[in-house]
């Protein structure tokens, strides 16, 4: 008789524990995505500053090769900024009705995307900084 009562109780307890672990894993994964987002957003000020610096240099410079370089750097900065803006508009953390596997896959994909955007922005800022400070 005790076994008939104990088995369902253990099953329910195990189910709750598994759900709790899945939710905890999803939260950690979401926190990692948001942390990466915050890192990239912190670089937004640098992107804007270098765009302004490059604009100023472009207007002052008459050398066509220098102007092409400046224009290319501006494009790289814009690509990174636009990619971040697009990512933010498309990011949807509403997981209502989705399985743990679907949520995990979505968050993995989002983390990869935001990491690529971070790489683009980091590279564009570093190249712009090198160019601006070399002037």
Q: Is 36 helix (H, G, I), strand (E, B) or coil?
A: helix
Contacts of residue 83, defined as CB under 8 A and 6 or more positions apart, other chains included, come to: 116, 117, 120, 121
Are the CB atoms for 111 and 32 separated by under 8 Å?
yes
Q: pLDDT grade, residue 6 (50/70/90)?
A: low
Whether 65 maps to a domain, the answer reads: yes
The 3-state DSSP class for residue 31 equals helix
Has residue 77 been placed in a domain? Answer: yes
**pLDDT the model gives residue 134:** 85
Q: Give the model confidence (pLDDT) of 39-91 as tens digits.
A: 999 998 899 999 999 999 999 988 889 999 999 999 999 999 999 999 999 99
* Domain membership flag for residue 3: no
CB neighbour list of residue 102: distance below 8 Å, 6 or more residues apart: 95
What pLDDT does residue 15 have?
53
9, pLDDT greater than 90 = no
In a domain, 5, yes or no: no
Q: How many domains does the chain have?
A: 1
Residue at 1 is within a domain: no
The answer to whether position 12 is within a domain reads no
At residue 7, the pLDDT reads: 52
Per-residue 3-state assignment (H helix, E strand, C coil) for 63-89: CHHHHHHHHHHHHHHHHHHHHHHHHHH
Q: Tens of pLDDT along 91-124? A: 999 999 999 999 999 999 999 999 999 999 999 9
Is pLDDT at 20 greater than 80 in this prediction?
no
In a domain, 4, yes or no: no
Question: Tell me, what's the pLDDT at 119?
Answer: 96
Give the pLDDT score at 12: 54
- The answer to whether residue 41 is domain-embedded is yes
Q: Which domain holds residue 30?
A: 23-133
pLDDT at 41: 93
């Amino acid at each position: 008789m005790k076994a008939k009562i104990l088995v369902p109780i253990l099953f329910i307890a195990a189910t709750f524990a598994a759900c709790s672990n899945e939710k905890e894993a999803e939260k950690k994964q979401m926190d990692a995505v948001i942390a990466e987002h915050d890192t990239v957003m912190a670089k937004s000020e640098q992107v804007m500053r270098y765009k302004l610096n490059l604009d100023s240099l472009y207007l002052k410079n008459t050398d066509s090769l220098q102007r092409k370089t400046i224009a290319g750097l501006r494009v790289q900065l814009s690509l990174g900024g636009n990619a971040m803006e697009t990512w933010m508009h498309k990011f949807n953390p509403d997981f209502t009705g989705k399985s743990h596997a679907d949520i995990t896959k979505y968050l993995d994909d989002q983390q990869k995307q935001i990491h690529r955007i971070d790489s683009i922005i980091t590279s564009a800022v570093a190249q712009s900084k090198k160019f601006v400070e070399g002037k």
